[in-house]
A and B are shown apart, each in its own frame.
Chain A
Amino acid sequence: MTELRQRAVREPDAPPEDKESESEIKVDGETASDSESRAEAVSLATSADDTPEVLNRALSNLSSRWKNWWVRGILTLAMIAFFFIIIYLGPMVLMIIVMCVQIKCFHEIITIGYNVYHSYDLPWFRTLSWYFLLCVNYFFYGETVTDYFFTLVQREEPLRILSKYHRFISFTLYLIGFCMFVLSLVKKHYRLQFYMFGWTHVTLLIVVTQSHLVIHNLFEGMIWFIVPISCVICNDIMAYMFGFFFGRTPLIKLSPKKTWEGFIGGFFATVVFGLLLSYVMSGYRCFVCPVEYNNDTNSFTVDCEPSDLFRLQEYNIPEVIQSVIGLTTIWMYPFQIHSIALSTFASLIGPFGGFFASGFKRAFKIKDFANTIPGHGGIMDRFDCQYLMATFVNVYIASFIRGPNPSKLIQQFLTLRPDQQLHIFNTLRSHLADKGMLTATTEDE
């Protein structure tokens, strides 16, 4: 979240600095918000400044406050430009980027755990954490791949066996990790090891499930990936701007720099931004169509007939706005209505993800999750508000937009026993007959 951080001295959270983290923990009676005084009090001999030399030299004339502001601004623009490039490169690259972000977030959080518990030298534990990450990813990617790459998987014999017994294989892999953990328990370190085990699992729950839900959303159509993420970013930036110019009433004790004016201003700005963005994007097929894997060309394609959601429709404007705008009807994409829901969530509930991360950082007395991005902190710092967004979008799509995947249903149907298949077929037939969908002609086919 965009808090106005005063960084006179760049305080690193570089993991191997065990000494520094010890001193952080031992300081009495302080919370992480007293950044300035603590920065002075804790003498950090080695403070690795990650800002590239280029930027340092270019901004060497300005005062330190403005320099930080510029560094943040430039990095923000760099990240947004990077985002656009990735979108341009297509779904495959997006998936890889999501995967990398996930791994980096996992690494950051686990490293914090190591620092907190001074458990960097625990036997086996680094290996086990990465092993569990691999297992859970294998499980989730297997489930996704089986769904979307169904025909490809059925063709290749080894892949077919892997997908048929996928759950069993994943469970076995996880079990191996579990047994290794039990066998690695060392006297006098039990508590630490259990803590790290719990820490790893909660991190997996947070980071890995989110990233896979993001990929599910992506497959639904790139617009379902881009609009939510952009809304969260926009809310960040807008809330910061509104807070900067009009901020007066504090919002929550947890993040003292947040203000109600920023919160509400950010909300309205994000809703408007979401409406505009979805209007612009709904016109392009490459954003709107579900991502499909084409067997012939062996690549991802986004080509389809846009669904009803992405076709312009006329809506009657309610009385109160009619007088303001002077139009009786307006042409909108139905998706824009949904985008209002998404933007609302991004601005009202998204910040709670940020407060959660702030509370977490205070609890463990860290300034940032890591020091990956100069001026911003770690990857996790940028993605803390996205935390709940991916889950929300996924649940939203599943509940309101589309039902279950028909091809997946057929695939499941084909694995049932013949008597079960017959039972389902008959039930479906009576259901359709009740609805009057079955006519004599369809029966003859």
Chain B
Amino acid sequence: MLELRHRGGCPGSGGAAAPPPREGEAAGGDHETESTSDKETDIDDRYGDLDSRTDSDIPEIPPSSDRTPEILKKALSGLSSRWKNWWIRGILTLTMISLFFLIIYMGSFMLMLLVLGIQVKCFHEIITIGYRVYRSYDLPWFRTLSWYFLLCVNYFFYGETVADYFATFVQREEQLQFLIRYHRFISFALYLAGFCMFVLSLVKKHYRLQFYMFAWTHVTLLITVTQSHLVIQNLFEGMIWFLVPISSVICNDITAYLFGFFFGRTPLIKLSPKKTWEGFIGGFFSTVVFGFIAAYMLSKYQYFVCPVEYRSDVNSFVTECEPSELFQLQSYSLPPFLKAVLRQETVSLYPFQIHSIALSTFASLIGPFGGFFASGFKRAFKIKDFANTIPGHGGIMDRFDCQYLMATFVHVYITSFIRGPNPSKVLQQLLVLQPEQQLNIYKTLKTHLIEKGILQPTLKV
């Protein structure tokens, strides 16, 4: 979230830059100066104390290198440090937004890769914080195990998605069919292997640390990996379901910051002292308006509106279809008070714009709670930023903390209000059944379709 941070020299926690024990000693005020491995006393006891102490006793994780590129530094060397930071943030914001547009232009496949890349980086950032908090960088096996679990969970989720959307492609290849049919079993076996390796890697005197890192890894997976897969599922529904929510959250960030900057007076929450009610409410209204307009502009193009499909003949993703009713202009009669204002009887809107109001409302009212959660997390573990990847902004996780709940909300919204189950998944499951069951279902479906008049009774194969 855009908090007005006072950054004299762009402090921030580095990525896995320097070995933690040395930094811990350098921070000072930390009586645990020995490295973890060569003390006789039980490491678990030290961390037992660490757990029960209040926050003020916990040493800060020290800042690391400044990653602002030299070129920016030179260009802005004239300005005072406060303005310099403001400019760096501004330039990086514009850069990120342009990168976003570029990737949208390149298509859905690139977007999926981008989402995967972001997920891996977020996972890496959070796990690195865990290492530093627990000084567990040298724990046997643990780095390998964390990445292994990430791989397993991704394999499981991508297998479920791939099987759904690439049904025709998959039916052709024998080995893929085998992998799909026993996908859950294979994923479970892979996960089990990781679990057993964890149990076998438990070392005396490090039990508590290892359990903490195990739990830390799992919670991180729960947060980052499920979200990213829901994002990809939203993407397949239509790129507009990916773009409008993310843009609404970004817009809310920026407009809340601007409103807070110009009109901010009443503090919003103790957790983030720079947030104000004026920013919150101003951001809410502007985001709804922005979402409304963005939805209007994007609904016109098939490219954004159609579900992403994989065509086996061209071996690529296509977005071509007859836009559904959601994306066809309809006339709505205005309520009386708006009639007087706009002097029109009806207005032509895309139904999707009504939905965009719901999405923007969520982005502005509940999205910030994701940001407060991340702020609380950073305070709890005394870090300034998740990492130092983006100069002026912090880590990738810092940018995406408000998006945290948005993807889940959009996915739940789509499945509850927009469409039913995924047709390709239903088809895939049908094809897996026993032939007798398929025949029974075929007869039931036929009767149903004829009743509804969708199918002509005289049609023969």
Contact = CB atoms under 8 A, between A and B. Distances in A.
Given A178-B405, A194-B376, A435-B435, A424 B55 contact: no
A99 to B, nearest CB: 23
Contact of B215 (A198, A359, A427): A198
A404 B432 contact: yes
B403 to A, nearest CB: 15
Interface residues of A, number: 87
Given A349-B196, A433-B461, A202 B219 contact: yes
Nearest to B377: A194
Contact of B222 (A118, A205, A425): A205
Q: Which of A193, A252, A355, A395 is the most central at the interface, judged by chain B CB atoms within 10 Å of its CB?
A: A395
A356 B75 CA distance: 56
Given A178-B405, A399-B185, A165 B416 contact: yes
Contacts of A193: 376, 380
B430 A409 contact: yes
A435 B436 CA distance: 11
A190 B376 contact: yes
Given A185-B271, A403-B432, A404-B429, A31 B409 contact: no
Given A168-B413, A363-B211, A413-B426, A422 B454 contact: yes
A179 interface: yes
B315 interface: no
Contact of B219 (A165, A201, A403, A422): A201
A192 B270 CA distance: 17
Nearest to B215: A202
Interface in B265-287: 269-271
Nearest to A206: B218
B184 A399 contact: yes
B55 A254 contact: no
Interface stretch (A22-30, A60-68, A275-283, A375-383): A22-30
B461 A29 contact: no
B188 interface: yes
A422 B208 contact: no
Interface string B422-461: 0100110111111101111111111011001011000011
B135 to A, nearest CB: 15
Nearest to B460: A443
Given A25-B48, A29-B41, A188-B55, A418 B454 contact: yes
A25 B41 CA distance: 12
Contact of B426 (A362, A388, A409): A409
A365 B211 CA distance: 13
B218 A202 contact: yes
A248 interface: no
Contacts of A117: 51-52
B199 A167 contact: no
B366 interface: yes
A429 interface: yes
A392 B376 CA distance: 37
Interface string A174-187: 01001101110101
Given A175-B366, A254-B199, A399-B185, A412 B192 contact: no
A190 B270 CA distance: 12
Given A182-B369, A191-B381, A391-B188, A409 B429 contact: yes
Contacts of B419: 417
Contacts of A194: 376-377, 380-381
Contacts of B417: 168
Contacts of B460: 443
A74 interface: no
Interface string B358-385: 0000000010010011001101110000
Contact of B438 (A26, A205, A388, A428): A428
Interface string B175-212: 00000011011001000100110111010110110110
A190 B379 contact: yes
B42 interface: yes
B448 A414 contact: yes
Size bracket, chain B contacts: 35 or more
A392 B42 contact: no
A316 interface: no
A82 to B, nearest CB: 30
Nearest to A171: B412
B222 A201 contact: yes
B58 interface: yes
A437 B216 CA distance: 52
A406 B440 contact: yes
B51 A421 contact: no
A182 B439 contact: no
Contacts of A254: 199, 202
A442 interface: yes
Nearest to B322: A419
A364 B208 contact: yes
B421 interface: yes
B426 A412 contact: yes
A65 B272 CA distance: 59
A205 B207 contact: no
Interface string A379-420: 000000000100110011011100110100110111111101
A116 interface: yes
Contacts of A406: 433, 437, 440-441
Nearest to B270: A187
Contacts of B196: 349, 352
Contacts of B440: 406
B68 to A, nearest CB: 29
Nearest to A203: B215
A364 B48 CA distance: 8
Nearest to B366: A175
Interface of B: 40-42, 44-45, 48-49, 51-52, 54-56, 58, 181-182, 184-185, 188, 192, 195-196, 198-200, 202, 204-205, 207-208, 210-211, 215-216, 218-219, 222, 269-271, 366, 369, 372-373, 376-377, 379-381, 405, 408-409, 412-413, 415-417, 419-421, 423, 426-427, 429-435, 437-446, 448-449, 452, 454-455, 460-461
Given A25-B52, A400-B185, A429-B461, 13 more contacts: A26-B45, A31-B207, A168-B416, A178-B369, A192-B54, A193-B380, A194-B376, A355-B199, A359-B207, A360-B211, A388-B192, A416-B426, A428-B427
25 contacts: A25-B45, A29-B41, A29-B45, A168-B413, A185-B372, A188-B56, A190-B376, A190-B379, A198-B219, A254-B199, A254-B202, A355-B202, A362-B207, A404-B429, A406-B440, A409-B430, A412-B421, A416-B426, A424-B426, A428-B430, A428-B445, A431-B438, A433-B461, A435-B435, A445-B446
The 5 closest A-B pairs by CB, nearest first: A415-B420, A190-B380, A363-B207, A399-B185, A363-B208
Interface of A: 25-31, 116-118, 164-165, 167-168, 171, 175, 178-179, 181-183, 185, 187-195, 198-199, 201-202, 205, 252-254, 349, 352, 355-356, 359-360, 362-365, 388, 391-392, 395-396, 398-400, 403-404, 406, 409-410, 412-418, 420-425, 427-429, 431-433, 435, 437-438, 442-443, 445
